[in-house]
Structure 1
Amino acid sequence: MALPTGPASSWFQGTDFPSRLFETGRNDYELYEADDEFVLSVEMPGFDSEEMTVSWDEGVLNIAAEHEDEKRGQRKTYHRRFRFPKNVDDDEITAQYNNGILEVRLPVMTGGTTRGTEIEIQS
């Protein structure tokens, strides 16, 4: 019997084995830009707003949370970083938590794109 050479999700096609165990990405957030602001929605069920920290540092949004369930002896943590390509108005960033969804709004500064250099692609 030969070893599988395809992606993990195809190894178990036709079986009852859940291929989701082999997925590497997390789809717990949605990010889009509309009306001169970024809107980030993050699914964070099981946390209270007091257990969360949202911070902004030079183009990076950091979201962290920790929940301790003493009755069950369990600890739940969350940590994600999001880097943004445009200058954000630091003083106008807002965050709201409702029904397990954290929504962060990051207004883009007028004319505020980060500077960079175009890199030539060689062939």
Structure 2
Amino acid sequence: MALPTDATSSWTQGLGLPSRVFDDAGSTDYELYEEDEEFVLAVEMPGFDRDEITLAWDDGMLNIAAEHVDENRGRKRTYHRRFRFPKDVDDEAIDATYTNGILEVTLPLEEEGTTHGKTIPIEG
């Protein structure tokens, strides 16, 4: 007998578990690209209020966390994701907006920014 895997299944309700645990692991709820000397990150976060979302920058890593409590239904939704950037970002100029369930973060590159990491050859 297979257990249900969708987030609305009765066996997951009321457990206080993050809803992302039961989502498709291959799904993409964000878009990240580089243009005009900055990274742009757009994250789909419907159902959260702006004041429920926390952004933090720490040594090349952007942390996004959110928590929404629906007291009428006795449910809690959480979201947490980390993004590491391969180039130096001007952390004083990071900007974020949240409109219609989309969090958009712009991360300007430093003028003398260096690229982190290395290229890995693919064999085959």
TM-score range, shorter chain: 0.7 to 0.9
- For 2:53, give the aligned amino acid: M
Displacement of 1:113: 1.5
Q: 1:45 to 1:115 in 2, by over 3 A?
A: closer
Structure 2: runs of 5+ lacking an equivalent: 1-21
Query: Residue 112 of structure 1 aligns with which residue?
Result: 113
TM-score, scaled to structure 2: 0.74
Name the Cα RMSD after superposition.
2.3
Query: Residue 10 of structure 1 aligns with which residue?
Result: none
Q: 1:73 to 1:96 in 2, by over 3 A?
A: same
Query: Residue 52 of structure 2 aligns with which residue?
Result: 51
Tell me which stretches of 4 or more aligned residues in structure 1 moved more than 3 Å: 114-121
Query: Residue 102 of structure 2 aligns with which residue?
Result: 101
Number of aligned residue pairs: give it. Answer: 102
TM-score, scaled to structure 1: 0.75
Higher relative contact order (CA 8 A, sep 6+): 2
1:1-123 aligned at under 5 Å gives the runs 23-115=24-116
Instruction: Report the identity percentage.
Output: 64
| Structure (1 or 2) with the larger CA radius of gyration | 1
More strand by share: 1
- For 1:109, give the aligned amino acid: E
Residue 92 of structure 2 aligns to a residue whose secondary structure is helix
